[in-house]
Amino acid sequence: MPEPLLRLEKVTVAFDAVEVLSGIDLEVRDGEFVALVGPSGCGKTTLLNVCSGWLSPSRGAVHRPAGLRMVFQQDGLFPWLTVDENILLGLSHVADRRERRRRADALLELIGLRAFVTVYPHQLSGGMRQRVELARALGGETPLLLMDEPFSSLDYLARLKMRWELARILREQPRTVVLVTHDIEEAAQLADRVLVLSERPARVRDEVVLGMSRPRDPTRPEVVSAVHRILTVLGLESDVVSGSSQTLSVPVGPEEME
Amino acid sequence: MAQPATKTGNPLLALVTPAVLIVVWAVVSSARLFPPSLFPHPWDVARGVWFELKSGRLVNDAIASLFRVSAGFLLAVILGVPAGLLLGHSARARAAFLPLVNFFRSLSPLAWIPFAILWLGIGDPPAIFLIFMAAFFPIVVSTTAAVANIPSVFFRVARDLGIGGPRLLSAVTLPAIAPQVITALRVAAGLSWLVVVAAEMIAGRDGLGFAVWDARNGLRIDLLAAAMLVIGVIGAALDRLLVQLTRIPSVRWGYER
């Protein structure tokens, strides 16, 4: 079996006396899409910060590839740069100017924003901004993308659309992804594996494997069953399950959202 | 796509309101509600402006004042922005220097006039010193706050993209604080213009402040009002000039949220 791309061994993070992560083991293999879900404030983002190297664990070890890129929940685009300049910045490791331009054009094509090259981020919608941020992150040659609730600031329909966009983009530019999300349905629709974290201090309470191609119809029994299982692990099923079945009956593809 | 903010309102309004004010001024003055020695007629003031322009004194005074403001203000920018960058980035520097900065910025620049004359005599140096004291601290405080408030996500992105060292300053820090610093520069320039007039009244031999003081000593109320008019017009023009900085496309994000 090949070496995992990202490996966390018994990672514990404590701020003063408060333990946020407790003995987390995580292995992410090349090409996998792993989602981390858990109660609000349980330490999902802290775990992602440890994965990225922004935060050092109090105990344990982290093995990560070089030059990984992150997509953030809040605006990570530089507002003083245009869409084009932001994407080109993500390609600054490419020495040849023409090649950089060619790759930037390909990324703009990929995210469908060629007409917006001279526009500044504050003039774009939230969904467009996230697509640009994704394109900038994809510009790196890193095989690993870390995504911290990238769609949480979007409205519901935009979130649904972005799931399909992300699935499409990853089909064209495959990457290994670790996604932190509070949206269980999003995790079940996109991830190969969903790790369910406990209340703080976070431990991995369950692992749900979804071996299906993306994007998934949210009404598929396997997806519905995964959502129910995650909700059960989180102790929320009795409160949410009736609502979730209603939620899951909404659009399955972007064309149905037009 | 969100629409950029557009200008509303008629630019002619900017001319109509001063025109109305001048008409009211002329009516009140013509009605002789106040003696002409205390309340000059706009026509007398216009004549005073023309007289001072013809003699060349008004232009020389305006140039002298603008030179002092430019020198003191530029010195404040050259030293104030780097000082603010240092304080904004370093908690230790903030702990050491912010109490001093707050102490000095609480002092009216005019309180320094006696020391300025004692140390630097009269003429350009004391006025430049006073302008520097007026502009430096607001620039330091605003730059410090702007740097301290840069969202940490920008630095994380910069790290991911391999931006570090001096390039971090030019590629992230400076553009991220530019809108706030431009606003601070406008405030500081306004203060500088206020202070140069006061400084020249007391420690000057020329300049628009000196012209005000000279007219007052000569009981030439028309020339006094003429100098005030020119001070106001140049002050507004300076602000308009700095407003142009806010039109730079890469800083518009700071004003169009």
C-alpha A33, offset from chain centre = 9
Residue A75's CB: how many other CB atoms inside 10 A?
18
| Sheet order of strands, A176-180 included | A69-71, A144-148, A176-180, A33-37, A193-197, A204-209
Cβ burial, residue B31 (10 Å; 0-12/13-18/19+): exposed
Per-residue model confidence (pLDDT) at position B234: 93
Nearest CA in chain B to A85: B250
Provide the pLDDT for residue A238: 56
Residue ranges of chain B whose pLDDT lies below 70: 1-9, 257
Helix (H) or strand (E) holding B240: helix B221-243
Residues A135, A213, A65, A153, CA torsion sign: positive
Distance between CA atoms of residues A193 and A180, nearest Å = 12
The minimal CB distance from B257 to the residues A81, A122, A124 is found for A122
Segment 216-255 of chain B within 8 Å of chain A by CB: 249-254
A150 touches chain B (CB under 8 A): no
Record: contact A80-B161, CB cut-off 8 A: no
Work out the angle at residue B56's Cα, subtended by the Cα atoms of residues B66 and B71, and round it to the nearest 5 degrees.
Answer: 15
Q: Is A123 on the interface with B (CB under 8 A)?
A: yes
The answer to whether A78 contacts B157, with C-beta atoms less than 8 Å apart, is: yes
Interchain proximity B257–A75, CB inside 8 Å: no
B181 close contact with A: CB closer than 8 A: no
B54 by Cβ neighbours in 10 Å (0-12 / 13-18 / 19+) ranks as exposed
CB pairs under 8 A between A and B: 70
Pairing of strands A193-197, A33-37: parallel
How close is the nearest chain A Cα to the Cα of B160, in Å? 6
Contacts of B2 in chain A (CB under 8 A): 122-125
Whole-number Å distance between alpha carbons of B46 and B53 = 10
- B154 inside 8 A of chain A by CB: yes
Please tell me the distance from the alpha carbon of residue B11 to that of residue B102, in angstroms, as a whole number: 40
Subunit contact B154:A54, Cβ cutoff 8 A? no
- For A98-151, the three-class secondary structure string (H helix, E strand, C coil) is HHHHHHHHHHHHHHCCHHHCCCCHHHCCHHHHHHHHHHHHHCCCCCEEEEECCC
Length of chain A: 258
Task: Give the per-residue pLDDT at B95.
Answer: 93
Residue of A74, A116, A122 with shortest CB distance to B256: A122
Query: A47 to each of A14, A180, B130, how far by Cα in Å?
Result: 12, 9, 53
Q: Crossing angle, helix B57-89 and helix B91-106, to 10 degrees?
A: 150
The pLDDT of residue A2 is: 65
Q: Is A49 helix (H, G, I), strand (E, B) or coil?
A: helix
Interface contact B43, partner A, CB < 8 A: no
Q: Which residue of B has its CA nearest to A126?
A: B1
Whole-number Å distance between alpha carbons of A19 and A22: 7
Residues of A in Cβ contact (< 8 Å) with B1:
116, 119, 123-125, 128
Asked if B1 lies within 8 A of A68 by C-beta distance, the reply is no
Encoded amino acid at A92, one letter: S
Contacts of residue B210, Cβ cutoff 8 Å, sequence gap at least 6: B61, B200, B201, B204
d(CA B178, CA B245): 10
Instruction: Please answer yes or no on whether B250 and A68 come within 8 Å at the CB atom.
Output: no
Cβ of residue B35 closer than 8 Å to a chain A Cβ = no
Read off the tokens for B162.
Answer: 């391999």
Nearest CA in chain B to A139: B161
B1/A92 touch (CB, cutoff 8 Å), yes or no: no
Q: Lay out the sheet containing A18-28: strands in order across.
A: A18-28, A6-15, A59-63
The answer to whether B97 contacts chain A (CB < 8 Å) is no
- Is the CB of A112 inside 8 Å of chain B's CB atoms? no
The minimum CA-CA distance between B256 and chain A, rounded to whole Å, is 8
Smallest CA-to-CA distance from A32 within A189, A151, A176, A150 is with A176
Mutation pick from B160, B174, B248 vs chain A, by most beta carbons of A within 10 Å, is: B160
**Long-range CB pairs of A98-103, under 8 A, 24+ apart, other chains included:** A103/A139
Extract the tokens encoding A17: 């006396």
**Cβ contacts of residue A27 below 8 Å, gap of 6+?**
A4, A6, A7, A8
CB of A121 within 8 Å of a chain B CB? The answer is yes
| Mean pLDDT estimate for chain A | 85
Q: pLDDT under 70 in chain A at which residues? A: 1-2, 237-258
Contact B1 A76 (CB under 8 A): no
ipTM score for this prediction:
0.80
DSSP letters, A160-186, are HHHHHHHHHHHHHS--EEEEE-S-HHH
